[in-house]
Amino acid sequence: MALAALAQSQVRVPRTVEAGSAFSIPTSGSGKATLYIVGPSQVLRHDVQLGETVNFTSGELHSAGHYLAILAGDSSAETSEFEVVAAHPPATLSFLARPSRLAVDLPDAISGVVYVFDIFGNLSLEPEQVTFQLSGNGGPVQTRSATTRNGVAWVKMNSSPKAGAAKLEARVGSVTESRILEQVPGEPCKLNVSARRTGQRVQLETAPINDCRGNAVPDGTVVTFTETSSDGTQATVDVPLKRGVAKTDMPAYQGATISVATGLVMGNVVQVGDAR
CATH for the stretch 92-184: 2.60.40.1930
Confidence (pLDDT) at 274: 54
**5 pLDDT higher than 60:** no
- Spell out the domain ranges in the chain: 2-85, 92-184, 193-274
In CATH terms, the fold of domain 193-274 is Immunoglobulin-like (2.60.40)
Q: What is the pLDDT of residues 267-276, one digit of tens each?
A: 999 998 755 4
Instruction: State how far the alpha carbon of 186 is from the alpha carbons of 11, 26, 102, 218, 276, in Å.
Output: 61, 68, 9, 10, 33
Q: Distance between CA 194 and CA 247 in Å, rounded?
A: 10
Confidence (pLDDT) at 84: 95
Rg value, the chain, Cα: 35
Q: Distance between CA 218 and CA 185 in Å, rounded?
A: 7
Q: What is the pLDDT of residues 198-218, one digit of tens each?
A: 889 999 999 999 999 999 999
**The domains spanning 92-184 and 193-274 adopt the same CATH topology:** yes
Question: What predicted TM-score, i.e. pTM, was given to this entire model?
Answer: 0.77
Least confident of 9-18, 158-167, 174-183: 9-18
Residue 128: alpha-carbon gap to chain centroid: 17
According to DSSP, the β-strands at 101-103 and 175-184 are parallel
Averaged over 235-247, what is the pLDDT?
95
Instruction: State how far the alpha carbon of 28 is from the alpha carbons of 23, 53, 164, 219, 261, in Å.
Output: 17, 9, 68, 81, 88
Q: What is the pLDDT of residues 140-155, one digit of tens each?
A: 899 999 999 999 999 9
Q: Choose which CATH entry (3.30.2320.80, 2.60.40.10, 3.90.1010.10, 2.40.50.100) describes domain 2-85.
A: 2.60.40.10
